[in-house]
């Protein structure tokens, strides 16, 4: 789970929505090609407002250097863009937010929960990085299924139940919740 604040998430969503806008999407597709790999890693186009392109930079020095180069970049960009840009503004303002933040660790250990199923990282699906969300989900579902098929059954409803739940309630967590 992430503990990002709502305004922060909205900011990210807003930036992602901006990416979907056509001219910017087109620009992002050719950005690295136009500016080069090094510059691309220190820059992130954020939006196009009234034909002015706003670009986030990793540092103020990059913003300054690129501001001097903006006429050259404009010429190159306008060759590939359907609507020409009139200017480019570089700023460090949106840099942090355009880069996805890593999720923070949960503060409570999952091992302490009675529904804990053992160390999932022993499973092969974690070792190989899935190429897309569908594969990731399929692998995850497979791993969960494998986990559940080796579990003892709840004496009440006969569904596979983590040992921790049986030790604590003698039935699965669902049956236990019903009896409360
Ligand atoms: Zn049950």
56, 93 contact by CB (below 8 A): yes
Structural domain boundaries, residue 151: 114-179
**Are 11 and 81 contained in the same domain?**
yes
**Are 15 and 87 contained in the same domain?**
yes
97-146 pLDDT, tens digit per residue, is 555 444 444 455 666 677 776 655 444 444 455 667 777 777 777 777 77
Q: What is the DSSP letter of 93?
A: T
How far is the centre of ligand 1, averaged over its atoms, from the C-alpha of 162 (Å)? Answer: 11
27 CB neighbour count, 10 Å cutoff: 20
Mean pLDDT by groups of 10 residues along the chain of 180 residues: 66 62 80 92 91 93 93 90 90 72 50 67 50 76 74 90 91 89
How far is the centre of ligand 1, averaged over its atoms, from the C-alpha of 83 (Å)? Answer: 62
pTM score, two decimals?
A: 0.45
Is 130 part of any domain?
yes
pLDDT at 125: 46
Alpha carbons 129 and 127: distance in angstroms, whole number: 6
How far is the centre of ligand 1, averaged over its atoms, from the C-alpha of 143 (Å)? Answer: 21
Instruction: Read off φ and ψ for residue 51, nearest 5 degrees.
Output: 65, 10
How far is the centre of ligand 1, averaged over its atoms, from the C-alpha of 154 (Å)? Answer: 5
pLDDT at 141: 75
151, 160 contact by CB (below 8 A): yes
**Are 58 and 132 contained in the same domain?**
no
How far is the centre of ligand 1, averaged over its atoms, from the C-alpha of 139 (Å)? Answer: 26
């Amino acid at each position: 789970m992430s503990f990002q604040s709502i305004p922060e998430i909205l900011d990210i969503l807003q930036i992602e929505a901006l990416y979907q806008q056509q001219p910017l999407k087109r620009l992002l597709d050719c950005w690295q090609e136009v500016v080069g790999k090094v510059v691309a890693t220190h820059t992130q186009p954020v939006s196009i407002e009234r034909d002015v392109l706003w670009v986030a930079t990793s540092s103020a020095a990059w913003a300054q250097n690129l501001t001097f180069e903006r006429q050259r970049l404009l010429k190159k960009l306008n060759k590939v863009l359907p609507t020409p840009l009139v200017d480019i503004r570089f700023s460090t303002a949106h840099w942090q937010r355009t880069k996805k933040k890593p999720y923070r660790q949960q503060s409570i250990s999952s091992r302490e929960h009675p529904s804990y199923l053992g160390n999932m990282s022993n499973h092969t699906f974690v070792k190989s990085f899935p190429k897309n969300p569908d594969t990731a989900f399929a692998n995850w579902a497979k791993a969960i299924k494998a986990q559940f098929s080796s579990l003892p059954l709840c004496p009440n409803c006969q569904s596979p139940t983590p040992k921790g739940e049986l030790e604590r309630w003698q039935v699965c967590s669902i049956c236990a919740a019903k009896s409360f």
